[in-house]
Amino acid sequence: MLSKNIEVALNKQIRIEAESSQTYLSMACWAEIHGLEGISQFMYAQSEEERIHMLKLIKYVNERGASAEISALKAPRNNYKTFKEMFEELYKHEVFVSDSINELVHITFSEKDYATHNFLQWYVSEQIEEEATAKNILDKINLIGDDKGGLYLFDRDIQQMITVAPKRIP
């Protein structure tokens, strides 16, 4: 059974993961209407991945005898001046999510909920990967600069970064 404090914290993270999915979805729409098909496909895939992260948390909360809450979401930003600005926001968002996961891990450790602490280690590893990917993409964007040919190649290359989402909730 989860403590009330951990249940509240996990439900907060459920909302954050849902908002992350919406953020990526909004970015996918922006990229799509600006002719950036590769970036758009990458963002759609990331949106689905974040949704799976949310569902994994929901199942865990419910399986531990608590109640997962589906709450209202903050509307994501839906307009960017450049694709670089969009990826800078994506990186900042991933850092925010990492900070949130780290705080959640701290709460579980301080409450000696080692089962939840162990469960969250997957999220810790996932966030290391998410931040590294976002940083790597920003580094490539900075190399491109204002080169339109570079943007075209980048848009094609980012499609190769798309991971296939698992068919079932882990």
User: Which residue range forms the structural domain that includes residue 41?
Assistant: 4-161
pLDDT of residue 163: 57
- Where the chain has pLDDT below 70, the residues are 163-170
Instruction: Report pLDDT digits (tens) over 42-79.
Output: 999 999 999 999 999 999 999 999 999 999 999 999 99
Residue 167 lies in a domain: no
17 is an annotated ligand-binding site residue: yes
30-65 burial code (b ≥16 CB/10 A, e <16) = bbeeeebebbbbbbbbbbbbbbbbbbbbbebbeebe
Query: 127 a known binding residue?
Result: yes
Is 85 annotated as a binding-site member? no
On whether 117 is known to bind a ligand per the annotation, the reply is no
Report if residue 128 sits inside a domain: yes
Domain total of the chain = 1
**Over the stretch 75-84, which tens digit does the pLDDT of each residue have?**
999 999 999 9
Per the domain annotation, does 169 fall within a domain? no
